[in-house]
Homo-oligomer: A and B are copies of this chain.
């Protein structure tokens, strides 16, 4: 399969009809670049994420899951900013042009592109160690993008879904076990909270998606907002599948495991009652886990009133002393 055949085949499988009322490409795949028209009254939200073999995924991961997840992690970023998916660009580096692998990869990506209404608008394929970079473009009403920086003292801290499932699946596999199907799906097929992000546009004062782990990502909100937070650890939403774990182990997975792709956001306390309606609309469980404080500190409180000191706060690609820095 030549590079051109490969691009064409990817395009055939992944390309979806844009949703009704959704802006299609003016010029799509097949020229030096795509030409896109942003409708009046909208701004672009752009995000890019790379997945590298053996770093972000296991070498024997199913191609369809990789295709799905590479797009999902980008859509999760669009969700956290309250944007509607519009177009994406796929830069795919492959050791060889294996047709069966590619068909499966593209099908996994197409599954999610179809349900989320995002159009493949261009890309690049090249030979080399397996790596997938997606740049996703979303649209948001002008001035309405959710950011990390608006959390206020007294705001309630909310997370969607459950935390720690993906990390639990990985933990189980690393120990030679077979994770339950729900945890496995959380790891391989996370569902970006796009509808939730849209619903939060007029409610949340800040928002982020939980990709590196709750404490790390919440830390970004606190830093950007110049605030602190208190979390009640017993409130962290978790799946029953983790019940057999030691408390400390479960807490580490839930606070620092990462790969959750749930939304963590803040809302004014007087608007708490609106959460229930949004739960109904989106089908996403929403849990208040704490509140924003004026201090710059992030405190995790245990049920007995003690303070939890996490072993780690989340995933970092480059550990601090790797380059010999002091």
Contact = CB atoms under 8 A, between A and B. Distances in A.
B30 A224 contact: yes
A45 B142 CA distance: 20
Interface of A: 1-4, 6, 26-27, 30-38, 40, 43-50, 52-56, 77-78, 80-81, 83, 87, 89-91, 93-94, 96-99, 121-129, 131, 133, 135, 137-138, 140, 142, 145, 147-149, 208-209, 224, 316-320, 322-323, 325
A133 B50 contact: yes
Q: How many copies does the complex hold?
A: 2
Nearest to A90: B48
A157 to B, nearest CB: 17
A32 B81 contact: yes
Contact of A50 (B26, B55, B93, B316): B93
B138 A33 contact: yes
5 contacts: A34-B45, A35-B81, A38-B44, A96-B323, A127-B318
A203 to B, nearest CB: 17
Contacts of A128: 50, 52-55, 129, 131
Contacts of A46: 33-34, 36, 87, 89, 121-122, 135, 137
Nearest to A39: B38
Given A1-B322, A125-B317, A33 B45 contact: yes
Given A99-B323, A126-B317, A145-B27, A89 B43 contact: no
Given A44-B36, A47-B33, A89 B135 contact: yes
A142 B1 contact: no
Contacts of A91: 48-50, 91, 133, 135
B77 A33 contact: yes
A185 B82 CA distance: 45
B89 A323 contact: no
